[in-house]
């Protein structure tokens, strides 16, 4: 493992004790920050996951948001969820030295030994079709995970970094690994587009080439996870041919 990566130049850093939600705090700070900024809290009192689900936020876990002010169209901005997933994996590998233990689950989870260790939630604000501010919310089970009984049936079981690796990492130490990792992928994205991120993400994708289920609302489709396309959509191979799914919950 290399030495500690340097904090990225020009990126702000706010460490808070308690906050309702780091994404909500990011939007409150947005008018006062011209550049990117990380907001990390010791605990959240109203953390949110995907589809407005409550996100358990006990002390010792990582609750953070990267605030950005993107200039691309909304569909392009949304591809930063893949940059965040790749950065999370890089941070985990840098801290643990276990590259084979971590896989990326479409659309925005990180798995450790097959269990969910981290999730990503993108939220944006803007006028019309534009995105003025982007909040990349990240939650990591460093030392605690939800009770498996509270997890949706068929979903990937939650795990913690501590239970799976024996490694106890503070939220601040995790941020020190994550921020430089994200900055590298952000540079790749803004200079080279989505292609290098897509290639890297697919190299670490969970269940690629295997049969999975994708649920959108009330419809569930089953097929072989073939790839993701240049828009980040999941491509499922079914008997009638490949189908592109832009958004869904995936079950193994």
Q: Count H helices, E strands: the chain?
A: 6, 12
> pLDDT, tens digit, for every residue of 118-155?
999 999 988 666 789 999 999 999 999 988 777 777 78
> pLDDT, tens digit, for every residue of 160-213?
999 999 999 999 999 999 999 999 999 999 999 999 999 999 999 999 999 999
Q: Where are the beta strands (DSSP E) in 57-195?
A: 62-68, 102-105, 109-112, 115-125, 133-140
Rounded mean pLDDT of the chain? 92
Give the pLDDT mean for 18-37: 94
**Does residue 51 carry a pLDDT above 60?**
no
Measured distance CA(33)–CA(69) in Å, rounded? 9
Q: Which domains does the chain have, with CATH numbers?
A: 12-203 (3.30.930.10), 211-251 (2.30.30)
Q: Give the Cβ contact number of residue 2 at 10 Å.
A: 5
Supply the pTM of this predicted model. 0.94
How many percent of the chain have pLDDT more than 90? 83
């Amino acid at each position: 493992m290399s030495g500690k990566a340097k904090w990225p130049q020009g990126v702000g850093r706010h460490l808070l004790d308690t906050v309702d939600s780091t994404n909500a705090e990011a939007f409150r700070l947005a008018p006062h920050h011209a550049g990117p900024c990380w907001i990390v809290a010791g605990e959240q009192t109203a953390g949110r996951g995907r589809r407005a689900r409550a996100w358990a936020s006990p002390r010792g876990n990582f609750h953070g948001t990267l605030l950005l002010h993107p200039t691309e169209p909304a569909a392009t901005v949304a591809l930063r969820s893949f940059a965040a997933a790749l950065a999370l994996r890089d941070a985990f590998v840098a801290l643990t030295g276990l590259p084979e233990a971590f896989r990326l689950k479409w659309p925005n989870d990180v798995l450790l030994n097959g269990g969910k260790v981290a999730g990503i939630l993108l939220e944006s604000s803007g006028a019309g079709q534009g995105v003025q501010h982007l909040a990349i919310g990240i939650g990591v089970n460093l030392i605690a995970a939800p009770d498996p009984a509270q997890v949706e049936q068929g979903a990937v079981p939650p795990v913690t970094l501590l239970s799976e690796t024996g490694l106890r990492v503070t939220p601040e130490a995790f941020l020190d690994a994550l921020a430089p990792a994200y900055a590298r992928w952000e540079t790749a994205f803004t200079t080279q587009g989505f292609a290098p991120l897509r290639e890297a993400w697919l190299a670490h994708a969970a269940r690629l080439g295997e049969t999975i289920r994708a649920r959108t609302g009330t419809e569930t489709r089953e097929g072989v996870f073939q790839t993701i396309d240049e828009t980040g959509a999941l491509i499922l191979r079914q008997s009638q041919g490949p189908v592109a799914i832009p958004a869904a919950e995936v079950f193994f």
